[in-house]
Chain A
Amino acid sequence: MLLNETRIASYFQIQAMIMGCGTSIETENQGKPSAADGPSKNPSPALTMKAAILIQRWYRRYIAQLEMRRRCTWNIFQSIEYAGEQDQLQLSSFFTFMLDNFTHLNGNGPDLISHLLDSVVEPWTEEGRQAKYEQISVPESYTGPRLTFPLSTTDANNLLTAVKEQKTLHARYVLQLLHETKKFLKQMPNVIYLSTAYAKEITICGDLHGRLDDLLLIFYKNGLPSAENPYIFNGDFVDRGKKSMEIVIILFAFLLLYPDHMHLNRGNHEDHIMNLRYGFTKEVMQKYKTHGRDILKLLQDVFSLLPIATVIDNKVLVVHGGISDRTDLDFLSTIERYKVKSALRLPRCSLEQLELGAGTRQGRAQLGSPYSQGRASRSTRKRKGYLARQSSCSSTSSSSSSSSSLCSPCISSLNTPRRNTPSPCNLPSPSGVLQVPFLDSFVSIAPPEPTREELEWRQVVDILWSDPKIQNGCTPNTFRGGGCYFGPDVTQNLLEKHGLKLLIRSHECKQEGYEICHDGQVITIFSASNYYEEGSNRGAYVKLGPGLVPRFFQYQVSRSTRKLTLQQRVNVAEGSALKALQEKLYAHRSELMTAFQQYDENNTGSISIGDWAQVVESVLRLDLPWRTLRPRLARLAPDGSVDYESCFEDVSPGQPVPQVTPNFAETLYRYRTDLEIIFNIMDKDNSGLISIEEFRQTWRLFNSHLGVDVDDHAIDEMARIIDFNKDGSIDFNEFLEAFRVVHKLDVKEQ
């Protein structure tokens, strides 16, 4: 025992010498055995202190390693999430591409186009819908809540009980609830001005994303909404989580019950195209097989009618995403918000350009646009004849000074650089550059002035999609593909302009559930705990009391009763993130292998770590610390270089893939989600089936838009193979199932 103490003491001596600083504390036992025999009962205080420091040093290092892993994992999840959102914009640009090219298709395009046009129909013309839900009969056997309108607190309580007992509200009541909500929201302004005069405090909640448990926890901790307990829910109620429908039902019910004390802001996920991708549409279709489509249509209207912003006591602005240097609350108050159905659908000018094409379509009859100033330039364009358009963003015609740049989403083609080099770009009318015939040559002209509709759309997108940043200025948010990054100066200017003192927003997941930035002027509040993975983050809500001083309340829903240690939480989250990365690698296998082999001149099967990291980063286009991640993703060869094929070892197709070329299969795997969305749109009657011809046409168009090189023969072959019933239609869910992957390690565990 003595020897240990001596050793520790002498260790510190050595350390001190190396560090070049003397220690003022001498140890008594340095170098000589103690006079006493046997172990000493009381080590000197100096030694105790040194032992303590040693343990603390080690422990802090251990925690730092966990923190590094946790942070890395977080970055992975965020990168993949935002890359997904960028892909979403790509899908939207595909829709635009289809609309643009509609005139070049022979005859009618696939039904997809008429579906897209359908969705632009105005809500005002659908009064006939009201009669519909009245005709739906509710069977005697139904044990869920039966609502009566106007709603009472009994109805609200019944709804709460029902969701806790996992009872589904009958479609008839859902439709009725949505109808009443729509009626109510129509008379609300875009920006709601609240006063906290009567209530003591107001509670603001952030993203819920279908996590019912979090909502119920908030109600449990903080009480139900009422006149004495007002709430603002700041958007993103749906998508990702599995109980989005339940959440909107409850929120809308309370909205109708306490119209002056319950307020909902629109989020970027209150958007039917986002819902197609991120799960809400699927959830609705699964829970409501017969009436799902009607419910979704009504939801679309309701979402577009949600207010954009709330202002408390003329001092606190609450919006879902953020602001830009163009944000103007007065202008926002005047716009027709319902026209912005989706941030990912361009304003109607793209449809009006279809007037160049043949045929009348039902949608266009409703395009009674009152925007005269836009008209003149469009008709001028028409007179000039043939137009060749590109749907990609042109950086040549953009302004680049950061303080006055137009902050707007960039419709990115595949080759647009992502996060690292934000390129300021002009508002995407579908044309980046117009080529106009002038005498014998084509002349480039600048795109026309944005129409009022485009301006309105841009303002809304900024509000719903922007994120704060630390540096001054306002730049396009290329990470997400929509909205802006706004700096403290932008915040300061806006608050000053409108006499406000605080901006509360959501939209970003924060580990503690909330975050304060811009010198206390911006609060981010996020209410979905465990957003990325069990244990990944807390949720929080904020209460503003007299004087509007914020108080934060945090919580975390837990599946298990025993609290996980930090290490366990990090392990779980990390495992999840790594799996997601492995799937990404798998989805780009061919491209990666080609690139790897270029570096592997001697065909050894391995390349340097640096080269491996470089290839992965450029192919996947995810800005992550690949060298640090490498040990978890790929094996080393005996000489210390990376065995690059080992990246693909742990992931394999779930079922035998139909006999198609590997490249094709991989492309299908990569765009699985997009295809699912497209098929769902095309499947008008929700049968799960689309015709072979529709599949063929859509796939061809999608391919040519993506620039993927798949020949027609492969497509036909694929169509033939998947026509399982040989009746000319395919069950696309079955088809997509073939392209799920499994992780080999999971399989082993089973």
Chain B
Amino acid sequence: MAEDRENAEAIISEVHKKISDAFDVFDHERNKTVDVREIGTIIRSLGCFPTEGELQEFITEIEEEEATGYIRFERFLPTMTKLLMERKFRPIPEDLLLQAFEVLDQEKKGHLGTEELTKYMTQDGEPFTQEEMEEMLSAAADPDKNVIFYKDFVSMLTVDDK
């Protein structure tokens, strides 16, 4: 029993360190605060896949009562630890991602046109900003044919960087 508890503590300690490292990358002032706009990046880099809506909920939970624009580590750590331990915002299986593209590819061509994809991404779901769209196209689109071979794109998106 004691051993289990030790293991559990060790695991939590590791999780805390991971969270702390990720947080520190954006802690420019070295005072354990980060700009609230970077929280999304931090959470996602720790392996979570929240939607924008879910992200906003999370932020509301950890913000100060009077929003300062900053998130303190003391509030971030416990909530984030819970998130990771409970495996909330779990990763989406890769094959589902491919199928999502296939849903959009109504004619089952195996690729999507840039206008087509742009329409979906900027009008449906939680729309992309123009910058996000441009960046996606620059990474995904075949420059000569102006289409997105989404199978290749999915492979690229799902490369594990660990």
Contacts and interface: CB of A to CB of B under 8 A. Distances in A.
Nearest to B137: A565
How many B residues touch the partner, as a band? 35 or more
Contacts of B99: 4-5, 7-8, 51
B49 A49 contact: no
Interface string B83-100: 000001000100011011
B103 A57 contact: no
Of A48, A60, A567, which is in contact with the most chain B CB atoms at under 10 Å from its CB?
Answer: A60
B103 A53 contact: no
Nearest to A47: B103
A10 to B, nearest CB: 11
Given A47-B103, A71-B26, A58 B157 contact: yes
A566 B132 CA distance: 11
A388 interface: no
A146 interface: no
Interface in A1-20: 1, 4-5, 7-8, 11, 18-19
Given A48-B124, A49-B125, A627-B18, A55 B101 contact: yes
A597 interface: no
Given A53-B51, A58-B92, A628-B21, A566 B103 contact: no
Interface stretch (B1-9, B39-47, B71-79): B39-47
A1 B108 contact: yes
B135 interface: yes
A469 B120 contact: no
B37 to A, nearest CB: 11
Nearest to B31: A471
Given A56-B125, A58-B92, A63-B132, A8 B103 contact: yes
How many A residues touch the partner, as a band? 35 or more
Given A469-B29, A470-B29, A566 B138 contact: yes
A43 interface: yes
A199 interface: no
A51 B108 contact: no
B50 interface: yes
A673 interface: no
Given A7-B99, A53-B126, A68 B22 contact: yes
Nearest to A420: B30
A657 B124 CA distance: 63
Contacts of A628: 21-22, 25
A51 B45 CA distance: 22
Given A8-B99, A48-B120, 18 more contacts: A1-B102, A4-B99, A7-B96, A8-B100, A18-B88, A48-B104, A51-B125, A52-B121, A54-B92, A55-B97, A55-B125, A61-B49, A62-B157, A68-B41, A72-B25, A75-B25, A469-B29, A627-B17
Interface of A: 1, 4-5, 7-8, 11, 18-19, 39, 41-43, 47-65, 67-69, 71-72, 75, 419-420, 469-471, 563, 565-567, 610, 623, 625, 627-628, 631
20 contacts: A5-B99, A11-B96, A39-B108, A47-B103, A51-B103, A51-B125, A52-B100, A52-B104, A54-B100, A55-B125, A56-B125, A61-B49, A63-B135, A68-B42, A565-B139, A610-B17, A625-B22, A625-B25, A628-B22, A628-B25
